[in-house]
Chains A and B, each alone.
Chain A
Amino acid sequence: MALFKVWFSSLIATMYIFWVSTFSCLDLPLFLSGCLDMVAVEGQFTFTAERPQLNCAVFFIGEPSDIISIEYNSVNIDCRGGDFIKVFDGWVMKGEKFPSTQDHPLPLYERYSDYCETGVTRPIVRSSQNVAMLFFRLHQSGSSFTVTFRKLINPFPCNVVSQTPEGSFTMIIPQQHRNCSFSIIYPVEIQIGELSLGQHNDLKRSILGCAGSGDFVELLGGNGMDTSKMFPMADLCYSFNGPAQMKVGCDNTVVRMVSSGKFVNRVSFQYRLLGHQELQQMKGNSVEDVCLRA
């Protein structure tokens, strides 16, 4: 009888705590004891859960001209018990995806590959660009998995996340109907050295800007990963030589090329990090609140 009372009291206490926690949870982060990593080196990685790990993610990033290959080597998880390992073709942060759905060849649901569904028959997953990520949840301590991460060469890199706030890149879209974005997750000054759209210089800029043109380059700025939600800072739809520069004071600066497929399009650019003083100056000069531009 006493034992029953103790048990019952414990149950009441647990339920009370849970009940209280649902109220105090309303606006609070739930991602508390998650596990997080970023990997840029090739190799074999093993994760073993010492205790239940419910919200884990590993980001993979390569050089701009790499694509990522993830191979499952040995997986010891309980799929039926709710464990999962999912690879996402791209990066997703705060619900925003890179590349955006407009810039990626696959529909969204095809960009997630679930080990529990296809991992055994298809043990190697390849990304379409230099970034990929892995989400996993392991309920049992002792569950583990091993993956091999490789970087493969991509001759025509389309979507890229830059590892550095400074650098240079030449993006070539060889007669393909696609959109490509080069994302620099820093406020930078971009200097476009050369832009070649089409073989002839017959693309005219209309009064309405580049909207009607099937081939153009745009500079976007924003504070998220999704390029379709970013603000256009400038657009260019005629070929030119000689530097054109622009400062974009946003957390994410993107050079995006839209290509109709009729031509070989090429854009070369350099970028450097904006200093704190420059940003302050831009803030002082700017009336708008939508990132900063100069």
Chain B
Amino acid sequence: MKPVPLVLLITSVLLTTHVPLSTCRPRDLNLINNQLDDVLLNRAGDDAMSYLLLYLQRNLGAQKAADVLHLQHFSTPQLRSDNSLEELTEFSKRNDDPPISIDLTFHLLRNMIEMARIENQREQAELNRKYLDEVGK
């Protein structure tokens, strides 16, 4: 076997065993269009949710992480068993998806509301301070 294809095959095997979850995006065009390294390195989004998920996956394992966060895919047609790249591209581009949902636990939702409330109170306090400053003049 020629060295270059062999190296590529070995690399892909090694990389696959380390990041199976990151490539779990059947509806993600990235998987098809972008470079290998882009697919593998850019999954860590800079929002709390993905960091949390990655942390949990690394420490608890994939299935437990899913259980803890009660994360499921969107309620859309089952594509995961479909290997066809063309169908995938077409589905991703299709605009008329069935009603969309999001999967969150109540715990996460409560935390998000709490943070949003704090932000709201901070803004209100700022506004009040401005009004009082104006009145004082």
- Closest 4 interchain pairs by CB? A29-B71, A33-B45, A13-B12, A38-B112
Contact B53 A29 (CB under 8 A): yes
Are B81 and A116 within 8 A (Cβ)? Answer: no
Contact, CB under 8 Å: A61 / B103: no
Name the interface size band of chain B.
35 or more
**What are the interface flags for A109-146 relative to B under an 8 Å C-beta threshold, 1 for contact and 0 otherwise?**
10010101000000000000000010100010000000
Docked complex Cα distance between A107 and B75 (Å):
19
Bound CA–CA A31/B102 (angstroms): 9
The number of residue pairs between A and B whose CB atoms lie closer than 8 Å in the complex comes to 199
Q: In the complex, are the beta carbons of A13 and B117 less than 8 A apart?
A: no
Q: Are A22 and B50 within 8 A (Cβ)? A: no
List chain A residues, Cβ under 8 A from B113: 38, 40, 61, 163, 185
Q: How far is the CA of A21 from the CA of B26 in the complex (A)?
A: 9
- Residues of B that sit less than 8 Å from A by CB: 2, 4-5, 8-9, 11-12, 15-16, 20-32, 36, 39, 42-45, 47-50, 53, 62-63, 65-66, 69-75, 80-83, 85, 92-95, 97, 99-104, 106, 109-110, 112-113, 115-117, 119-120, 123
State whether A10 touches B8 (Cβ < 8 A).
yes
Question: Does the CB pair A186–B110 fall under 8 Å?
Answer: yes
For A94, give its contact among B43, B70, B81 (CB under 8 Å).
B70
Which residues of A pack against B, CB within 8 Å?
2, 5-6, 8-10, 12-22, 24-41, 51-52, 54-55, 57, 59, 61, 79, 81-82, 84, 86, 88, 92-95, 108-109, 112, 114, 116, 133, 135, 139, 163-164, 185-186, 223, 251-252
Among candidates A2, A14, A24, A39, residue contacting B36 with C-beta atoms closer than 8 Å: A14
- Known contacts A57-B102, A92-B100, A135-B100; A38/B93 CB under 8 A: no
CB distance from B77 to the nearest CB of A (A): 13
Whether A22 contacts B29 by the Cβ 8 Å rule is no
Q: Is the CB of B24 within 8 A of A5?
A: no
Chain A's interface: helix, strand, loop or mixed, by majority? mixed
CB distance from A91 to the nearest CB of B (A): 9
Complexed CA–CA distance, A108 and B98 (Å): 11
Check B47–A35 contact: CB distance below 8 A: yes
Which residues in B have their C-beta under 8 angstroms from that of A12? 5, 8-9
Which residue in chain B gives the minimum CB-CB distance to A9?
B5
* Minimum distance in angstroms from A157 CB to a CB of chain B: 17
Show 7 A/B contacts (Cβ-Cβ < 8 Å), sorted by A. Answer: A12-B5, A25-B24, A39-B116, A41-B116, A93-B101, A112-B100, A135-B102
